[in-house]
Amino acid sequence: MRRSVIERKTAETDIVLRLDLDGSGLADVRTGVGFLDHMLTLLARHGRFDLTVHCKGDTDVDDHHSVEDVGICLGRAFREALGDKRGICRYGDAALPMDEALVLCAVDLSGRGCLGWDLPFPTEKVGFFDTQLVEEFFTAFVSNAGITAHVRLLAGKNSHHIAEAAFKGTARALRKAVAVDREFEDEVPSTKGTLE
């Protein structure tokens, strides 16, 4: 069963996160940050992951701590749920259009957290949400998951569409990468024999 439960409590946030990699895209997301809730719901739906995230954070100060800490917890959940990564496809990519926006997303479940980021936003905010926090989320996520991810803007003028394409594209790429390759289900997809 490729599932995990992560609980993390600090002076800034209190988070409970549940992840099932072999779900149907169900999401119960309540982070206190509306735009993040929307993006994580998209991530679950397009990745076909079942995801529950409940976060109580110091959003009276700023959304930063909640966004980053949810990224940390989601990354840890992916790492735990994948176990030794035996049988996974490992790689995934998607070029995701969202109206005028087009974002390229590619992932490698390498065990090494690395983010290649070229996703400039034309505005500093989407509603009340700081667009710079999208990169903060992805940095925390890939670092804690041990994922190499590249996210690049190929076209786009609308910040909401750009962010949405990034989350949906990453979800689609992750869906491919975590899928089990039935021909090699007893092998770790690495010549090193490990993806740690």
pLDDT digits (tens, 9 = 90+) for 99-133: 999 999 999 999 999 999 999 999 999 999 999 99
Sheet containing 148-155: give its strands across.
91-98, 101-108, 148-155, 114-118
Q: Is the pTM of this model over 0.85?
A: yes
Contacts of 22 (CB under 8 A, 6+ apart): 1, 2
Task: Give the pLDDT of residue 108.
Answer: 96
Task: Give the pLDDT of residue 188.
Answer: 56
Task: Give the pLDDT of residue 183.
Answer: 75
Task: Give the pLDDT of residue 107.
Answer: 98
Task: Give the pLDDT of residue 173.
Answer: 98
Which regions of the chain are under pLDDT 50? 191
